[in-house]
Structure 1
Amino acid sequence: MILDRFRIDGQVAVVTGAGRGLGAAIAVAFAEAGADVVIAARTESQLDEVAERVAAAGKRAHTVAADLSDPDATAALAATAVDQFGRLDIVVNNVGGAMPCPLLDTTPDALVQAFNFNVTNAHALIRAAVPRIIDTAGGGSIVNITSTMGRLPGRAFAAYGTAKAALAHYTRLAALDLNPRIRVNAIAPGSILTSALEIVASNDAMRTELEAKTPLHTLGDPEDIAAAALYLVSPAGRYVTGKVLEPDGGLIAPNLDLPIPDL
């Protein structure tokens, strides 16, 4: 059965930024497909809600409330997975982000912070996870969450877009280094209905613009990204590595112009 290739029974995954949005949807999807999960985010109450959804799917969740802007805290999740569940097979680097800011208002420190939050943290966890994946599972899969703004030019996204573009290419480089035992891929979502889009989605005019400028004329759902992640980490994606999957509704240009004037 082809659907059996999407099962990850008996595997253990670490998902960062899993208190809500994409991370929560990915963690629950993995549980529904048979995996136990270590879920990490800043807010414990949100993690507890996700853990309840994992338990409802018949699997176990271990929650870690931590400041994941700290690479050491992020890297520690690999050891936590092995301590709690005895193995580690899958890592999803979902935590990240940076606020939009006009180019000339973006300080060098802001650029460094965006790089560290989106790329350095992912590298710290991967570096800690790889030996444990090899030792406990023999091989596995890593997924990095980038963004459509890592490939499309948009005003006010110098820090965020640059960091996400770096993470996309880091994915290709890491895949080459970790072949053939660990596959490394990325997902570059478009406009997904998470808390990050709440303000936009609640404004009828802005939502209409977003949808009109998206070739599929609709916004994405967190489960769209969760399905992509499950494909990449499961046996269904066994022949895919070093790639960036783009579930973005077909975007070839940004679908919302921020009101940044010409220079």
Structure 2
Amino acid sequence: MHKHAIITGTSGAIGQALAEKFKRSGYKICAIDIKEIQDQNVDFFIKTDLNQFVLNKNIQEITFKKIETWLEKNHIDILINNAAYQYVSTSHPIDETEFMTSYNINVIAPYILISHLKNKMTKNTGNIINIGSIHTKLTKPGFVAYATTKAALAALTRGLALDYEDTVRINCIEPASVETPMLHDGFKNAPESMRLLESYHPQKRIATPNEIAELAFFISSEKIRFLHGACIDISGGISSRLHDPL
């Protein structure tokens, strides 16, 4: 019998890796993304702008009805809130629209999905995983909106773990830099900076999307049910490093 997983942000590299890992492990995959995708690992696709999803109750209702249609009489075994919006600017005041879009996609949308779908999750064995960021605790210039929302996502994870008690498990993964096309595109005009970024990490490399997917699959295991309300650092050790001049 298949298990059922819902994954947001599946058009990105991490989302694709998550879908592939869980699909190969016997899950049926429902993908939610703003971009149309053709992926053999996705069984059911819902095109949704998560910012509008937060702002528009009608879009929420349509989305949840589509999920119910896909599920039929089955339950959700895992929900992974992976979609994110990253706005970068060192100019203040930050555009309020950009700040609210960041908050809606990175925090409010996960909360709405969690709170509305929690009762459709497999009781006592259902899993919720939020994909956070090292920016929860460590950040850099220009990332105030993104870092603020990722810190809120961590707080949401911890708080809901207390409220939901033993009915479902909820945890958060907080990666440092991950090797994605989007990251490489940001360094396309400065490849030496990409090599410098890698050298900053104690392992002299950055994470792969597959490593994030492997961790997500591992922490969803019934063998470690005591893992609940945790925000897990997967930073290759860079979160322990001070970048002083000497």
The 2-side partners of 1:78 and 1:236 are apart by 30
SS in 2 for 1:39: strand
Structure 1 stretches of at least 4 aligned residues deviating more than 3 Å after TM superposition: 72-82, 200-203, 253-256
- Say which of 233, 238, 253 aligns to 2:225: 238
The 1-side partners of 2:68 and 2:176 are apart by 33
Contact between 1:103 and 1:158, CA under 8 Å: does it hold in 2? no
Mapped pair 1:214 → 2:218: no
The 1-side partners of 2:34 and 2:102 are apart by 18
Deviates more, 1:122-131 or 1:108-117: 108-117
Superposed CA RMSD in Å reads: 2.2
Deviation at 1:199, TM superposition (A): 2.2
Partner in structure 2 of residue 83 of structure 1 = 69
Contact between 2:134 and 2:239, CA under 8 Å: does it hold in 1? no
Give structure 2 stretches of 5+ with no counterpart.
Answer: none
Cα deviation code 1:71-95 (max 9, x no counterpart):
2546755553442232211100011
5 Å-filtered alignment, 1:184-223, equals: 184-202=170-188, 203-223=190-210
Deviation at 1:190, TM superposition (A): 0.9
> How many aligned residue pairs are there?
235
Contact between 1:75 and 1:129, CA under 8 Å: does it hold in 2? no
Contact between 2:85 and 2:101, CA under 8 Å: does it hold in 1? no
Deviation at 1:144, TM superposition (A): 0.6
> TM-score, normalized by length of structure 2?
0.87
Deviation at 1:162, TM superposition (A): 0.4
- Say which of 81, 106, 111 aligns to 1:93: 81
Give structure 1 stretches of 5+ with no counterpart.
Answer: 1-8, 55-59, 257-263
- Say which of 20, 23, 44 aligns to 1:62: 44
Identity percentage over the alignment? Answer: 25
SS in 2 for 1:128: helix
Deviates more, 1:79-88 or 1:208-217: 79-88
The 2-side partners of 1:22 and 1:74 are apart by 24
Mapped pair 1:21 → 2:21: no
Partner in structure 1 of residue 160 of structure 2 = 174
Contact between 2:87 and 2:98, CA under 8 Å: does it hold in 1? no
- Given residue 227 of structure 1, which amino acid in structure 2 is its aligned partner? E
